[in-house]
């Protein structure tokens, strides 16, 4: 039995990709499997927290004794999360949210023709930035960053611009890190700290994140 260090805490985690529809049969998405977010939710549950998991489309099974909320698009995820923010203590955005969506969703399947085709994309809301802007005094926020270059610099920019307490950065090109693997290799950033963590399972990283969030909460 794990020590119930998060008993009485409300923890909201997001996981997986979003799907942005083009028409009834096609969408724009990314390679997120949901494993990282689900692993964090599982760790939070094991530590005694009340856990809400807002998940984009994944192949993973629902977790037991966790409030599962399934969504499809970034806008759905925004609505699901912002309507549940009020009494959350820890919020962890591990989902890979699409930054853009097609401006129009065709009602019918788009037909092939001899012409080339051009789609116009509009911006999705930034969920993490919204959470940061509306942060309450008792809330601790952890974002993620998926980078392919200048990991630390780009991640630190996201930490600051989105008003996060903490950010976990992973690089797409590091072996054993990022999408679909059972492990991750990350850099943990806080206001005055940068820590390169050794490779670990996504669940071990979940415990590390939650432990650090508790430290941040106690320092507030
Ligand atoms: O699901 P897995 O296969 O296990 O893979 C795990 C992971 C690679 C998806 C995960 O470790 C990860 O890095 N998640 C964040 C991916 C991402 O979208 O990063 P980003 O740098 O584009 O976004 C930065 C942060 O803003 C993220 O916390 C993201 O959730 C959030 N965001 C981004 C765009 C948007 N419109 N709204 C957001 O809230």
The domain total for the chain is: 1
What are the helix (H) ranges across the chain?
35-46, 74-82, 127-133, 151-161, 202-219
Q: Is 105 contained in some domain?
A: no
Q: What is the distance between the alpha carbons of residues 121 and 118, in angstroms, rounded to a whole number?
A: 10
Q: Is 1 contained in some domain?
A: no
Structure tokens at 157: 């920019």
Residue 52 alpha carbon to ligand 1 centre in Å: 17
Q: Is 2 contained in some domain?
A: no
Q: Is 15 contained in some domain?
A: yes
Q: Is 152 contained in some domain?
A: yes
Q: What ipTM describes this predicted complex? A: 0.99
Residues with CB under 6 A from ligand 1: 16, 32-36, 74, 93-97, 99, 124, 126-128, 143-146, 158, 170, 178-180
Q: What is the distance between the alpha carbons of residues 45 and 55, in angstroms, rounded to a whole number?
A: 16
Answer yes or no: 138 catalytic: no
Q: Is 110 contained in some domain?
A: no
Out of 30, 67, 154, 163, pick the active-site residue: 30
Residue 34: which CATH number? 3.40.50.10300
Could you tell which of 53, 128, 149 is best to mutate to test the pocket of ligand 1, judged by most ligand atoms within 8 Å of the CB? 128
- Atom of ligand 1 at shortest distance to CA of 39? 4
Range of the domain at 182: 10-99+119-219
pLDDT digit string (tens) for the chain, length 220 residues: 789 999 999 999 999 999 999 999 999 999 999 999 999 999 999 999 999 999 999 999 999 999 999 999 999 999 999 999 999 999 999 999 999 999 999 999 999 999 999 999 999 999 999 999 999 999 999 999 999 999 999 999 999 999 999 999 999 999 999 999 999 999 999 999 999 999 999 999 999 999 999 999 999 8
Q: Is 145 contained in some domain?
A: yes
Q: Is 108 contained in some domain?
A: no
């Amino acid at each position: 039995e794990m020590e119930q260090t998060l008993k009485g805490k409300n923890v909201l985690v997001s996981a997986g990709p979003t799907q942005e529809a083009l028409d009834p049969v096609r969408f724009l998405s990314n390679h997120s499997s949901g494993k990282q977010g689900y692993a964090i939710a599982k760790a939070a549950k094991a530590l005694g927290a009340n856990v809400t998991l807002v998940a984009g489309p994944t192949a993973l099974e629902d977790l037991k004794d966790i409030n599962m909320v399934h969504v499809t698009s970034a806008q759905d995820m925004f609505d699901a999360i912002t309507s549940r923010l009020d009494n959350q203590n820890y919020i962890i955005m591990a989902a890979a949210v699409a930054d853009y969506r097609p401006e129009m969703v065709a009602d019918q399947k788009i037909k092939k023709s001899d012409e080339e085709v051009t789609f116009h994309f509009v911006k999705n809301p930034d969920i993490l930035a919204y959470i940061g802007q509306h942060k309450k005094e008792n809330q601790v926020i952890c974002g993620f960053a998926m980078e392919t270059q200048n990991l630390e610099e780009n991640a630190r920019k996201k930490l600051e611009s989105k008003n996060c307490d903490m950010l976990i950065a992973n690089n797409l090109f590091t072996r054993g890190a990022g999408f679909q693997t059972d492990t991750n290799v990350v850099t943990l950033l806080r206001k005055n700290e940068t820590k390169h963590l050794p490779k670990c399972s996504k669940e071990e990283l979940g415990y590390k994140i939650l432990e650090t969030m508790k430290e941040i909460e106690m320092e507030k």
